[in-house]
Structure 1
Amino acid sequence: MRSGILLAVIISSFLLFQACSSKPSEKKQSTSSTENSGYKLVAYVAGYRDYDFTQIDADGITHINYAFGNIRNGQAVFDTTKIDGKNLTPVDLEKLVALKTKNPNLKILISIGGWSWSGGFSDAALTEQSRAVFAKSCAKMVNDYRLDGIDLDWEYPNQPGAGNTYRPEDVQNFTLMLQKVRESLDEMARAEGKEKHYLLTIATGADMAYVDNTNLGEVQKYLDFINIMTYDFYNGWHNTNGHHSNLSASANPDKDMNSVLNAVSMHLKAGVPAKKLNLGIPFYGRIWKGVDARDNEILFNKAETVGMGIDYVDFCENINANGFTRFWDETAQAPYLWNPVEKTFISYEDEQSIALKINYLKEQGLGGVMFWEYAADKDKKLLNAVRQGLKNKASTE
């Protein structure tokens, strides 16, 4: 996850569904359902977005993760500091909990950390005493705000992330921290009644660097499930354009950065049960401008900008309109938009790529879907595609 990745770049277009060509395609109607056939549908919502959480359509959503809580003095806290110009407010949590009147099975968690607020993790995890302090603060936060659990988004153990403190001990300390948080949540649950259970989940990176710097096989023992951030493969660090959430590897292995299949495979090999894994689906795109595309080779070219985040609602009306054409990469199984006049490239998610990912997760026996983030798709076009896919049976083709 990111706490400030979504750049509000206003471009106009209309969402259409097409199999494999650059021609305009027919609109596909999606429907929602409260029945997900046992699959999880985890929605991240950003407290720093200008969005009224009472307007969330929680139909079919099983979990909502509020982004973000912070770490101060080694403790998990609700921080009202501004992110992207907006103060966070605990009133948002009250609005999210109130959604249970419409969806009684809905679980509300707060996500601690994120790209900007992961700086306190390494110190909080460093010693047995610091881990105990942090774990108790997590349990207190759950109790104070009447939540169903805690989600930890450490970006990233033994990696600098956004200039964060990190150390080699993070690899083992992350496991010990999660064990301690699990114990504190369980202790609180036992005190309240034997039927009570509080959730503990994490968001994980989708590359080998993350897997190498965590003990996922041990970590998963303390977790209810894991949300893999299977996006940002090409991102705001890259001045070369490419897919940011492709299902399969690209046909150009020298340029391919990652894929959903690679990320899931790494987690499984590390010892995480398939049922504990949720695929991350981005409700935002990545946009590159000034792309130097030559000889009709649109992908993997130098650009004048890096791949900045852009909300789906801010570019969806440009699909096969306003100089943009939708293309489909059959090998990577991912769509993209290209405007040759403006030399602008957008990597994004659509109904076709979502359907393929959900079919894959069903075939692999994965737990469900996580998406970032609700306000980026407030018209629910992508959300409806996810809900419909989770309801449908997996294809046998």
Structure 2
Amino acid sequence: MSTKLAAILGLMFVPVSVPAQGSHVESKPAVIGYVFPQNTILKPTDIDGHSLTRINYAFANIQGGRMVAGFSHDAENLAVLTTLRGANPSLKILVSVGGWLWSGGFSDVALTPQSRAVFIASVDDFLTRYDLDGLDIDWEYPGMTGAGHVFRSEDKANFTLLLKELRADFGRKQKRGGRRMILSIAAGASDEFLAHTEMREVQKYLDTVNLMSYDYYEPEGDKITGHHAPLFTNPADPKKISADASVLAFEAAGVPAAKIVLGVPFYGHVWGRVADKNHGLYQPGQPIPNAYSPYSVIVDEMKTGEFERFWDPAASEPYLYNAGKQIFVTYDDPESISAKCSFVLKQRLGGVMFWDYAGDPSGTLLGTINKQLGRATAAGKAVQ
């Protein structure tokens, strides 16, 4: 990971699956935000806890087979986040472990009953110490190298066993009078991820599958430009990819729609040296400095007047092109976020998640999500 209308459509959000093995399906769409402060210290005013149902704090690390704090101020930051539950008791605070750079320990952790037991005990200690509501597993990726990590063919079955044993452990603690713990994963939106996992079985132990339906195109790995988070597949797209196609693939793999949470990006990707053909879309390009660009930076760049915004009706996605500098930008904005929220409600998915909160300090995109999902504020009024 580098960071995702009821009133409008007149639809009621109804779960379409029955919880299994201790998992739980929410009756209303979730709004899940990944918070990634790294080595900075959060203030309570940095996060709008009323506009979220769940915060996934990123990232805990794995060392010596145990889950450990990842950054120097995790204790202070988690304390800040848990205080937000005072004003919004329905808010859940989770820790996400792993991520693109810190998934190297998962294959070893999941390998044997003994290694899984050690890891799960460390999870229990961590969640108790910081008064958290659950765990998000961000293994990138089982059975695949990811960012150069150790991987094994056994990862496929061991991923299932790790989640099954985590759910059983959470269930035992709940029966002994503890709170119900949430268990989720961040899932790669690709056929490769599905080929290396047993999602029909895995989903039984999860509350949500947070689908990373972004980064379909990235300057570092793709020699042509493209939408990095298209809602629908543009017939002209050489890769033929989209969030819609990924959702269908996960459903076909056995994941109920109500457990799939659609990921949206609060950032974009930038290519340089892109010729002015089709306004730069699906054209050869090259990575440039700061190719990963937060939404707030993209908005500021648009104010210069050097970029023209275009809308791809087939993909339901915007893009920018600077003809003078030959720069192409793929990103999400309020129009595309609104379309994705409409899709979530129409398909009766589990909700929306986004990476990451810091990408839009203005709250424009989060406000759009809440408005389009028809969520209410603490005062009981629809978010405007």
| Deviation of the 1:248 alpha carbon | 0.6
| Deviation of the 1:47 alpha carbon | 2.8
Q: Is the 8 A contact 1:227 1:280 kept in 2?
A: yes
Given residue 243 of structure 2, which amino acid in structure 1 is its aligned partner?
Answer: V
Given residue 299 of structure 1, which amino acid in structure 2 is its aligned partner?
Answer: L
| Deviation of the 1:244 alpha carbon | 0.3
1:313 equivalent to 2:296? Answer yes
1:324 equivalent to 2:315? Answer no
| Deviation of the 1:376 alpha carbon | 0.7
Q: Cα deviations across residues 23-63 of structure 1 (Å, max 9, x unaligned)?
A: xxxxxxxxxxxxx9821000100031646341211123100
More deviation, 371-380/233-242: 233-242
Q: Is the 8 A contact 1:239 1:303 kept in 2?
A: yes
- Equivalent in the alignment of 1:54: 44
- Equivalent in the alignment of 1:190: 175
The 5 A counterparts of 1:9-88 are: 38-48=28-38, 50=40, 52-55=42-45, 56-80=47-71, 87-88=72-73
1:346 equivalent to 2:329? Answer yes
Normalising by structure 2, what TM-score? 0.87
- Equivalent in the alignment of 1:96: 81
| Deviation of the 1:319 alpha carbon | 3.2
For structure 2, which runs of at least 5 residues remain unmatched after alignment?
4-25, 376-384
For structure 1, which runs of at least 5 residues remain unmatched after alignment?
6-35, 81-86, 393-397
Q: Is the 8 A contact 1:233 1:257 kept in 2?
A: no
Given residue 198 of structure 1, which amino acid in structure 2 is its aligned partner?
Answer: M
Q: Cα deviations across residues 120-147 of structure 1 (Å, max 9, x unaligned)?
A: 0000001111111111211221111100
Which 4+ runs in 1 deviate beyond 4 A? none
Q: Cα deviations across residues 152-177 of structure 1 (Å, max 9, x unaligned)?
A: 00000001001000011001100000
Q: Distance in 1 between matches of 2:222 and 2:73?
A: 30
Secondary structure of the corresponding residue to residue 302 of structure 2: coil
Given residue 159 of structure 2, which amino acid in structure 1 is its aligned partner?
Answer: F
Normalising by structure 1, what TM-score? 0.85
Q: Is the 8 A contact 1:51 1:375 kept in 2?
A: no
Question: What is the aligned counterpart of 2:282 among 295, 300, 307?
Answer: 300
- Equivalent in the alignment of 1:207: 190
Q: Distance in 2 between matches of 1:384 and 1:321?
A: 24
Q: Distance in 2 between matches of 1:51 and 1:344?
A: 34
| Deviation of the 1:185 alpha carbon | 1.6
Question: What is the aligned counterpart of 1:170 among 135, 155, 169?
Answer: 155
- Equivalent in the alignment of 1:233: 216
Q: Is the 8 A contact 1:44 1:64 kept in 2?
A: yes
Given residue 235 of structure 2, which amino acid in structure 1 is its aligned partner?
Answer: A
Question: What is the aligned counterpart of 2:346 among 363, 366, 381?
Answer: 363
| Deviation of the 1:297 alpha carbon | 5.0
Q: Distance in 2 between matches of 1:49 and 1:332?
A: 37
- Equivalent in the alignment of 1:84: none
Q: Cα deviations across residues 295-350 of structure 1 (Å, max 9, x unaligned)?
A: x4521111131693111111113337421010001111110010000111110101
Alpha carbons of structure 1 residues 246 and 51: separation in structure 2 relative to 1, 3 Å: farther
Given residue 308 of structure 1, which amino acid in structure 2 is its aligned partner?
Answer: A
1:181 equivalent to 2:163? Answer no
Given residue 42 of structure 2, which amino acid in structure 1 is its aligned partner?
Answer: D
